[in-house]
Amino acid sequence: MLMDFQNTIGRASDLLPIVDSNFEQACLWIITEAFKRMKREKRYDLTWKETYFSACLVGYMQKIRHEKDIRLRIDPESHLYREEMLNCTEDPDTAPRIDIKISGGWVREDVYYGIEGKVLVENNWITRNASYLCRRYIATGIDNFVNGRYSDKMGIGCMVGYVVQGNASEIALKINKLLIRYGRNKEKMMNPHSINGCSDCCQSKHTRTTDNTEIELHHVFLTFV
């Protein structure tokens, strides 16, 4: 029976799971393309919670994947179960959840491109506090990659900033000032560049605390104003 199943859907070992710079560029293209469609079609509300932005972005990403016939799996709000949880020795309810998880045609659950999204503002706006959101971008975004909660076996990952007020470059400057204040000057966002027409992108490098390996994060600021 298992042999028949393998013959029908293929073997897991037939596809080599690789998340490299080329895979990352494809992921970044589909993220930015989805954003441009969201904005062009006005499918957003500036008062949305992060989960609304992420879910809508995933919807467009999946639509593009089908249109272009791209062999990608795009999962929203994915639980990242550690081995201890799968062995029933640790509470699975404590598993971290990353906003978006992209993998290729393989079935390795631990090989993926992880994306975490955060709402950001340059100045206090309605109920949103600019300083708090910048601190949160680091504490529950960047640091979840640094401490191995997200992408614990990957050397790359992505932060997406949903900018609903103000200027993305000024927000990035504020986040960098916070990193400097925390004594993390080497982790600043650098190398400003454009991706697929989205001009507010940069990168940062960090040392993962669980294994002392380097992880590089792409930061893509999506401005909805």
What pLDDT was estimated at residue 34?
98
Q: What's the average model confidence in pLDDT over 163-187?
A: 98
What pLDDT was estimated at residue 214?
97
3-state SS of 71-134 is: CCEEEEEEECCCHHHHCCCCCHHHCCEEEEEEECCCCCCCCCEEEEEEEEECCCECCECHHHHH
Q: What is the pLDDT of residues 42-82, one digit of tens each?
A: 999 999 999 999 999 999 999 999 999 988 899 998 777 67
Q: 96-105, 159-168, 179-188: which range is least confident on average?
A: 96-105
> Residue 202's pLDDT band (boundaries 50, 70, 90)?
very high
Q: Is 146 exposed, middle or buried (0-12, 13-18, 19+ CB in 10 A)?
A: buried
Q: What is the pLDDT of residues 95-106, one digit of tens each?
A: 788 999 999 878
Residue 127 has pLDDT above 70, yes or no: yes
Residue 9 has pLDDT above 50, yes or no: no
What pLDDT was estimated at residue 107?
74
What does pLDDT average to over the chain?
91
What pLDDT was estimated at residue 81?
67
pTM for this entry: 0.92
Q: Is there a contact between 210 and 155 (Cβ–Cβ < 8 Å)?
A: no
